[in-house]
Structure 1
Amino acid sequence: MTDFRQIKTTTSQRNSVEEVYAFIIADLQFAGENLPASYGATDVGRATKGAAKGFLAKVYMYQKTGPGFGFDF
């Protein structure tokens, strides 16, 4: 049995909010450029180009940034 009192804990540096969003945006942009528009009937539920672009739009709206957000809400 493991004695959890003996285990040393480690902490790691957290990334900033800006760094996390930059990573998410870059990943979704890459997915939007490289995923197929659709799959065959045997691959229902897989991520598509439209899904990636939809999530990217949600990220931009949440941040109130991106294309078309040159105004305040």
Structure 2
Amino acid sequence: MSDILQKLLQPRVAPNPEPEWPKWIMEALAYKPERPPAVLDPPLKAVSPESDERRNIRILRRVSNT
């Protein structure tokens, strides 16, 4: 019983310091590009699925070899 009590009364180990990020992650998070990314122009006309335009749709079917 005294062994268990001795183990319980042992001084506590100091907690580990805060973990640090690896260097490559810190550099990636701190990266700031020299110039902002290029903004692409939006498409001139967006095609809506509800449009009345006829589309050239072909249906492919298997043909038997016999």
Same fold (TM over 0.5): no
**For the pair shown, which has the larger CA radius of gyration, 1 or 2?**
2
Q: Which has the higher contact order (CA 8 A, sep 6+)?
A: 1
Please, what TM-score do these two structures have when normalized by structure 1?
0.23
Higher helix share: 1
